[in-house]
Amino acid sequence: MQLTEIRIAGFGGQGVILSAMVLGKAASIFEKGYATVTQNFGPEARGGACSAQLIISDTPVAYPYVTQPDIMVVMSQEAYNRFAPELKDGGTLIVEQDLVRVTGLDKKKEIKVYGIPATRIAESLGKKMVLNSVMVGFFTALTGLLDPDAVRKAVADSVPSNFRELNLQAFDKGFECGSTASPNTVETELEAESVTEAG
């Protein structure tokens, strides 16, 4: 668990902050690492753009902010446009593929892009609200950064008890998608879909 900088961004209501809290809790409480979460505070957090910064490390975290994220999770186009240029060379970009069109990424940076229709999956499970747990599951499988059991425990520990089962199902579904996902297939899928919709 070497020092890893992660940014999670989207709009208010998608569970952006909770996703960061779950991953941070998994790293620092259910595994023996360190994690620091900071979040943007301000009027923009209400219904608009929302972003959390998470640093995970096997040694104590001093500087609490992300400077060049190794991993970025974006769940809105606005968040993508604003934050994607920050990504480190060779970094990992995870997008809500129905909500984010990945454009203008610098090929030379060799960024690995993964997409998942997290909102649609959450809706198929019965509640759109659990899209963040889908994302967290997807993240966990793709990055291999954290022990899946630790993250699962953190999910269970962080959500209201009456939604625990549903969130765990969402986590498992996301994890399953992440286990079989291959990078850099998003753009093509997006384009194909928009053509179908237009037709």
Contacting residue, 64, 85, 126, 183, with another protein by CB under 8 A? 64
Among 48, 58, 59, 65, binds another protein (CB under 8 A): 65
Binding flag, residue 151, another protein (CB under 8 A): no
C-alpha pair distances (Å), 120 with each of 92, 95, 124: 22, 13, 6
Closest approach of another protein to the CB of residue 43, in Å: 8
Q: How far apart are CA 71 and CA 7, in angstroms?
A: 7
Count, residues near another protein per rule CB under 8 A: 19
| Residue among 40 and 77 whose Cβ is closer to another protein | 40
Mark residues 1-40: x for contact with another protein by CB under 8 A, - for none: --------------------x--xx--xx----xxxxxx-
The two beta strands, 49-57 and 71-74, are: unpaired
- DSSP result, 84-113: GGGPPTT-EEEEETTT-------GGG--EE
Helical axes 118-125 vs 131-143, angle rounded to 10°: 120
Question: Which stretch in 41-49, 73-81, 130-138, 168-176 sits in contact with another protein by CB under 8 A?
Answer: 41-49
Of residues 63 and 109, the one with the C-beta less far from another protein: 63
Smallest CA-to-CA distance from 8 within 143, 163, 107, 108 is with: 143
Instruction: Write down the least CB distance from residue 84 to another protein, Å.
Output: 21
* CB of 187 vs another protein, minimal distance in Å: 34
The Cα–Cα gap between 23 and 55 comes to 10
Sign of the CA dihedral with 152 first, then 157, 159, and 164 last: positive
* Of 21 and 102, CB closest to another protein: 21
Dihedral, CA of residue 153, residue 158, residue 61 and residue 79, to nearest 10: 110
Residues 6+ apart with CB under 8 A from 189: 97, 115
Q: Which of 3, 48, 59, 63 binds another protein (CB under 8 A)?
A: 63
Choices 4-12, 62-70, 79-87, 187-195 (CB under 8 A): range interacting with another protein: 62-70
Residues near another protein (CB under 8 A): 21, 24-25, 28-29, 34-39, 41-43, 61-65
